[in-house]
Amino acid sequence: MSTYFLLMTLTQEGRNLMHDDPEVILHAAHSSENPEVHCMGLYAVLGEHDFITVLEAPDNETAARFSIELGSKAGVDIKTVPAIPVSRLDQRIQWPPPDDDPFSEGNTEEQEL
């Protein structure tokens, strides 16, 4: 299973729905008919977005279907962001960059872009 963050912002319709039923997003997130999707958490946040959902799904297509379904049911605009646990990254991060890095400060040769 893959993890996704759904960054949600209420639309005007969503604000009206929230006024009528403050739990509309919670109900919409848990009413998905797709058994492969697991809503791991729903958080109200301050800032650019109003809510964040943490989702587990088997693939991007399933996550996208859930995102579209949730957006239409709850009246939210959604940015779906796939997440990769840091422990699964294969490359070791090297800092400072190796000497052969063409963008390091010590390299004075002109580079072709």
Statement: residue 7 has pLDDT above 90: yes
- pTM, entire model: 0.74
- Select from 80, 85, 75, 84 the least CA-distant residue to 37: 80
- Give CA–CA dist 50/71, Å, rounded: 13
Which H helix or E strand runs over 44? strand 38-44
Residue 52 scores a pLDDT above 90: yes
Domains of the chain with bracketed CATH: 2-88 (3.30.70.920)
Instruction: Encode pLDDT of 59-94 as tens digits.
Output: 999 999 999 999 999 999 999 999 998 887 776 666
Alpha helices in the chain (DSSP H): 12-20, 24-29, 60-74
What is the reported pLDDT for 105? 59
